């Protein structure tokens, strides 16, 4: 969750604004009602993926991957049919 604070309202209250910043919450500083800056904690402990996840730019994969199909779809070919198709693709027909 982000908090919004205006530059005009708090020019001398920088410490109070910084106190609102937590590991879970950033502070968005506005100028004339428009967001201009985002203040967040500096985390040396974050890995690149943790930072991307915190920023909402990465979603980790599901814990259990989808199972492979037992019988994948698609046509099946005999050896002769496969040879004919390969010859046609190569232009040897």
**Is there a contact between 21 and 40 (Cβ–Cβ < 8 Å)?**
yes
> Residue 31 pairs with which residues in a beta bridge?
34
Domains and CATH numbers, the chain: 1-59 (3.40.1620)
Q: What is the mean predicted confidence (pLDDT) over 3-25?
A: 68
With a cut of 80, say whether residue 3 has pLDDT above it.
no
Tell me: the pLDDT tens digits for 69-92? 877 788 889 999 999 999 999 986
Tell me: the pLDDT tens digits for 31-41? 888 999 888 87
Q: Which residues, other chains included, contact 87 with Cβ-Cβ below 8 Å and sequence gap of 6+?
A: 93
Instruction: Indicate the pTM of the whole model.
Output: 0.35
Q: How many CB atoms lie within 10 A of CB 5?
A: 17
Q: What is the mean predicted confidence (pLDDT) over 30-58?
A: 85
Q: Which residues, other chains included, contact 91 with Cβ-Cβ below 8 Å and sequence gap of 6+?
A: none
């Amino acid at each position: 969750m982000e908090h919004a604070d205006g530059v005009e309202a708090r020019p001398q209250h920088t410490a109070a604004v910084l106190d609102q910043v937590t590991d879970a919450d950033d502070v968005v500083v506005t100028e004339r009602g428009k967001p201009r800056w985002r203040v967040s904690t500096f985390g040396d402990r974050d890995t690149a993926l943790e930072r991307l996840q915190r920023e909402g730019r990465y979603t980790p994969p599901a814990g259990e991957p989808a199972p492979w199909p037992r019988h994948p779809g698609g046509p099946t070919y005999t050896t002769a049919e496969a040879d004919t198709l390969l010859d046609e693709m190569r232009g040897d027909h």
